A = this chain, B = another copy of it.
Amino acid sequence: METTKYLLNETALPKRWYNIQADLPSPAPPYLNPGTMEPLGPEDLAPLFPMELIMQEVSQDRYIDIPQEVLEIYRLWRPTPLYRAHGLEAAIGTRSRIFYKYEGVSPAGSHKPNTSVAQAFYNKKEGRTRIATETGAGQWGSALAFACELMGLECMVYMVRVSYEQKPFRRSMIHTWGAEVVASPSDTTNTGRAILENHPEMNSGSLGIAISEAVEDAANRDDTAYSLGSVLNHVLMHQTVIGEEAIEQMKMAGAYPDVVIGCVGGGSNFAGIAFPFMRDKIAGKEIDFLAVEPAACPTLTHGIYTYDYGDTAKLAPVAAMHTLGHDFVPESIHAGGLRYHGMAPLVSHALQLGLIRAEAYLQNDIFASAITFARSEGIIPAPESAHAIHGAITTAKKADEEGVEKTILFNLSGHGHFDMAAYDNYLAGKLVDVAFDEAQMGRALKAIESLPKPA
């Protein structure tokens, strides 16, 4: 086995985030107020977010400086390594070159702290002392707990009940970092109580319900802000440190990617690696951007591009995005971080503009690729990140069939040390493949029929 790792000197840690809004050929449609369906102004968001993040959300500046306090914490694990996947290339016998950026070296084990640290910082700066958020499998909740603890803020996490009960170790991590976590739906919010009383069939919870609880919590307390781990423009922008570093590391490798690949749930890790390279595509360079999603929640490949609610109780901003309908609850698959009904507006907009494409895969195929990767590269990937691996393998095999050699770059967004039960299920042949079906499509169409369409 040969290892080629491209490490940046610490002085090469990016000093600013890249804001793709400055370069898009047309702007993404604005958010709407969920009550009035009129475009949102900064004042509508002020109860939920600090003003600096609201300004980042709509900024047209190409670059935004990363505050020194955020850089200090980034430096705990950044710059992250970029590897040439010699082992994987040999294992699948491809003639293409495969590179991957590895974000699993953060203390939370994923890319999420890139934005949680920034969000905690701006909230603290503007006097908030507490942040409320939702989490599915717990990757985001633990990353925010980590950031809040280091910034000296309180943190309240609404965790989807089924994960709270079945995946206790991310919950333990949240506790270890000093945050509070409750199972959602909870009896601490109106949203939660209403569901517990009137919809016992929804007691196992969903991301949409947990978002509603966190938004309600934040809206009702002056000391508390709301925080989202993906989807929003400023969250995607914070993740561009991944791609900015990768650009420099690919230069070290003397290579430039023909294809850039990431998995998509809300869209932030994909945007993090893709957007900085997308500057070049917008300027005319030919690059293929591939967003990989689960067949059980295929937002980009099967969703409808429309305005839709981001949460169950319709408290969060309404966004123009690819959606499977705001009441869609995906089948329980092991890539819990990819089970969101919607998609980041900027990723959706990029698909509309033809800047990216998407593919959806079944989870047994994903885990087969995860095992191939673990056994050839040594790193056990998170099931979410394994979607990107499978995308890279699929792309390389296709290139081999076509007799071409490609340079492929994907984002390995996190390690799978909290997901070993999923590997057990796969190795025991117990994983069930589920794909979005026509009945679900019918319900999705019905859920969004009365909502406005983006211009």
Contact = CB atoms under 8 A, between A and B. Distances in A.
Interface of A: 1-3, 5, 7, 9-10, 69, 72-73, 75-76, 83, 87, 105, 107, 109, 146, 149-151, 168-170, 172-173, 175-178, 371, 374-375, 377-380, 417-418, 420-421, 423-424, 427
Contacts of A170: 420
Contacts of A10: 5, 7
5 contacts: A107-B378, A149-B378, A173-B380, A176-B423, A417-B417
Given A10-B7, A87-B150, A1 B421 contact: no
A2 B72 contact: yes
A375 B173 CA distance: 11
Contacts of A1: 69, 72-73, 150-151
A423 B5 contact: no
Given A105-B105, A150-B1, A150-B87, A421 B173 contact: no
Contacts of A375: 149, 176-178
A123 to B, nearest CB: 15
A178 B370 CA distance: 12
Contact of A76 (B3, B69, B169): B3
Contacts of A378: 73, 76, 107, 146, 149-150
A178 B379 CA distance: 13
A417 B138 CA distance: 13
Contacts of A178: 375
A420 B173 contact: yes
A115 to B, nearest CB: 15
Nearest to A367: B176
Nearest to A170: B420
Given A7-B10, A107-B378, A423 B72 contact: no
B417 A109 contact: yes
Contacts of A7: 7, 9-10
Given A149-B375, A149-B378, 11 more contacts: A1-B151, A2-B72, A3-B73, A7-B9, A76-B379, A107-B379, A169-B420, A169-B421, A172-B420, A173-B420, A173-B423
Q: Which 6 A-B pairs have the closest CB atoms?
A: A172-B420, A169-B420, A3-B75, A417-B417, A107-B378, A172-B424
Nearest to A106: B378
A371 B418 contact: no
Contact of A3 (B72, B109, B377): B72
Contact of A175 (B69, B177, B427): B427
Contacts of A175: 423-424, 427
A321 to B, nearest CB: 33
B76 A176 contact: no
Nearest to A152: B1
Nearest to A86: B72
Contacts of A83: 76
A424 B417 CA distance: 17
Contacts of A9: 7
A418 B417 CA distance: 7
A362 to B, nearest CB: 19
